[in-house]
Amino acid sequence: MTTPTASPGYRCGYIAIVGRPNVGKSTLMNEMIGAKVSITSRKAQTTRHRITGIQTTPSAQFIYIDTPGFQTRHANPLNRKLNRTVTDTLGGVDAILFVVEAGAFSEADEQVMALLPTDVPVILVINKADQVKDKGKLMPFAQQVASRFAFASIVPVSAAKRFQLDALQSEIEKLLPENPPVFGEDDITDRSERFLASEIVREKLFRLVGEELPYTSTVLIEKFEQEGNLRRVFAAILVERDSHKAMVIGQKGARLKEISTQSRLDMEKLFGGPVYLEIWIKVKSGWADNEARLRAYGYE
């Protein structure tokens, strides 16, 4: 790991990205760092863990923390745990990006805003600004949201199209403390390749199977081997019922094949080398010591 030489005035700090589900938090972080380390999906709560993404420039190191979308419905144990992940993150960062969808400020956004601390600077990020047909409505919308909280700045962006991301980066850098870098200049995340492989498969699982598959379905990497530039990945998709297993496999195995192909291509792009990937499906209830093994790998 090569840590960049910190010049006088070098800035480094932690930035939490928060907002309700499906406003584009993971896409925003991926585009800011220039690599896909946090998975995206139309299915709410795709991001289950706090994911750290690292962006290093000659003048600053940005350490982004992508959090799960804050759940305002269905107070089950999983959602309560996800919400604790969000609130616990906010206390230990140098800046916060509060992401909302352009033209769509809802009660769920209001509830997330109520969690924002007043002693940490918050930037209001209005995502998907390119999708607003009448651009004259953006300013009144921004003013409406800004009247509810003392934001450090307001930046309309389109994360998917990289619109205004340089402007957002500039605003964030102003808020970071003067510190030497924490990570190496080539680091893009603090997560292991094994963890990233599981997240990639999980993303394809939810993207290709759809809303019918319960959110509790997960992915466990049973074996991760590296031989030179080649990585061999053996993954198990854990589902709750045999009917879910059939759903993932698809007709004549077509859906599972597509999940495997798309996952492998994403892994090869992220890891920078060839990947051999095997995926099979297991029903959770039939797997001995399932809970203990999940905890051992960090998939609580």
Task: Decide if 208 contacts 201 (C-beta within 8 A).
Answer: no
Amino acid (1-letter code) at residue 99: V
Domain check: are 122 and 60 in the same one?
A: yes
Residue 148 and residue 114: Cα distance in Å, rounded? 10
For every residue of 209-272, DSSP letters joined together read H-TTS-TT-EEEEEEEEEETTEEEEEEEEEESSHHHHHHHH-GGGHHHHHHHHHHHHHHHHHHT
pLDDT in tens, 82-99: 455 556 667 789 999 999
pLDDT in tens, 149-193: 999 999 999 999 999 999 999 999 999 999 999 999 888 888 888
Task: Give 216's pLDDT tier (boundaries 50, 70, 90).
Answer: low
180 inside domain: no
User: Which segment of 44-48, 130-134, 182-186, 275-279 scores lowest on mean pLDDT?
Assistant: 44-48
Residue 255 and residue 137: Cα distance in Å, rounded? 42
Last-in-domain residue among 146, 175, 204: 175
Domain check: are 168 and 37 in the same one?
A: yes
Domain check: are 171 and 280 in the same one?
A: no
Domain check: are 169 and 211 in the same one?
A: no
Nearest alpha carbon to residue 189 among 39, 33, 5 = 33
Domain check: are 83 and 228 in the same one?
A: no
Residue with more model confidence, 110 or 41:
110
Which range of residues forms the domain containing residue 212? 193-296
Domain check: are 157 and 43 in the same one?
A: yes
Task: Give 70's pLDDT tier (boundaries 50, 70, 90).
Answer: low
Domain check: are 53 and 105 in the same one?
A: yes
182 inside domain: no
Say how many domains are in the chain.
Answer: 2
pLDDT of 29 higher than 80: yes
pLDDT of 27 higher than 50: yes
Last-in-domain residue among 147, 175, 203: 175
φ/ψ of 230, rounded to 5, equals -90, 135
Last-in-domain residue among 175, 207, 235: 175
117: domain CATH number is 3.40.50.300
Domain check: are 259 and 231 in the same one?
A: yes
For the chain, the average pLDDT equals 83
Instruction: Give the predicted TM-score (pTM) of the model.
Output: 0.74
Domain check: are 215 and 289 in the same one?
A: yes
Domain check: are 248 and 155 in the same one?
A: no
210 inside domain: yes
Residue 289 and residue 298: Cα distance in Å, rounded? 14
Residue with more model confidence, 170 or 68:
170
pLDDT for 5 equals 60
SS3 275: strand
5 inside domain: no
N- to C-terminal Cα distance for the chain?
Answer: 30
11 DSSP β-pair partners: 60, 178
265 inside domain: yes
208 inside domain: yes
Task: Decide if 203 contacts 227 (C-beta within 8 A).
Answer: no
Counting residues of the chain whose pLDDT is more than 70, the rounded percentage is 79
pLDDT of 213 higher than 80: no
Domain check: are 17 and 95 in the same one?
A: yes
Scan for tokens 């139309």, then name that residue: 42
Residue 48 and residue 90: Cα distance in Å, rounded? 16
Domain check: are 200 and 158 in the same one?
A: no
pLDDT for 164 equals 94
pLDDT of 199 higher than 80: yes
1 inside domain: no
107 inside domain: yes
φ/ψ of 234, rounded to 5, equals -120, 110
pLDDT in tens, 244-286: 888 889 888 999 999 999 999 999 998 999 999 999 998 876 4
277: domain CATH number is 3.30.300.20
